[in-house]
Amino acid sequence: MGKLTLRDDVAIGSLEQSHAANMVAWMHDPEISGNIGLTRSPSLEATQAWIASALSGTSVWPYAIFLAGSHVGNVVFDQRDSYLGSARLSVYVGPVESRGSGVGVTGMYLALRDCFASRGLHKAWLTVHSRNSRAICAYTRLGFEVEGVLRDGFLLGGERIPALYMGLLRDDFLALETEAA
C-alpha cells in the first residue's frame, strides 16, 4: 500500500452543543441513517441529550470533523473496554459535497492518532455493512483489517445483509506512512 494522503484543510475538535442541529439534519439523510443503522427518527432534543451525556462522562470520546473551519461530521469512540484498551469507532460526514474526498479519512486519522497517542487505545474496531464499499475502502486505507463476518448482522432497507467486523491495532496504525495533500 502507498502512502496515505491526508487533507491539510481538515481538522478535528471538540463536539459541542452548537453542532446538534447539523447532526440532526445529516441523520435525516437516508444514506447516512441507513449506513449507520439508525433505528429512530432523530430529534434535536435527543441529539443534544446525547452530546451532553458524551461530554460529561468518560465512556465516549466524541470528535467533530471540520473542513476549512466548518463542522462537517463526527468521529466517535464508544463501547470502550479499559481492560483491553479497545473502543468502537463510528464516523460520518454530513454534507454530500464533502463525502468521498478524503475528509472522513483525514478526520478518522486525526482522531485515531489522538486516541492511540494520548488515550491509551490499543485497538479500534468497527462494524460496517457489506454493501458500504466507500466506507470499507476508507477503513482499509487507514489499516483496518476484516477480522470476521457477521452473517445477517445488518438491516438495510428491511433486508438482512452481512456486516464486517474490522479492527486496527495501534502498532499497525503507527506504521502508516502519510503525506499532506
Q: What is the pLDDT of residue 1?
A: 53
For 4-180, give the CATH class: alpha beta
Mean pLDDT, the chain, rounded, equals: 92
Question: Looking at the predicted structure, is the pLDDT value of residue 150 above 70?
Answer: yes
Percentage of residues in the chain having pLDDT higher than 70: 98
- Give pLDDT, residue 167: 98
Q: Can you give the pTM of this predicted structure?
A: 0.92
Span 87-132, pLDDT tens digits:
999 999 987 888 889 999 999 999 999 999 999 999 999 999 999 9
Q: Check residue 30 and give its pLDDT.
A: 84
Q: Which sequence spans correspond to the domains of the chain? A: 4-180
Mean pLDDT within 36-65: 91
The DSSP 8-state label assigned to residue 143 in this structure reads T
Whether the Cβ atoms of residue 24 and residue 74 lie closer than 8 Å to each other: no
pLDDT at 159 over 60: yes
Residue range 32-47: average pLDDT? Answer: 86
pLDDT value for 157: 85
Residue, of 96 and 171, whose pLDDT is higher: 171
Q: CB neighbours of 62 closer than 8 A, spacing ≥ 6?
A: 14, 15, 51, 54, 55, 74, 75, 76, 77
pLDDT for residue 2: 64
Quote the pLDDT of residue 156.
86
Residue with the larger pLDDT of the pair 157 and 73: 73
* pLDDT given for residue 98 in this prediction: 84
Which cell is 80 given?
470502550
Does the pLDDT of residue 38 top 80, yes or no? yes
- The closest of 52, 37, 13 to 158, measured between CA atoms, is 37
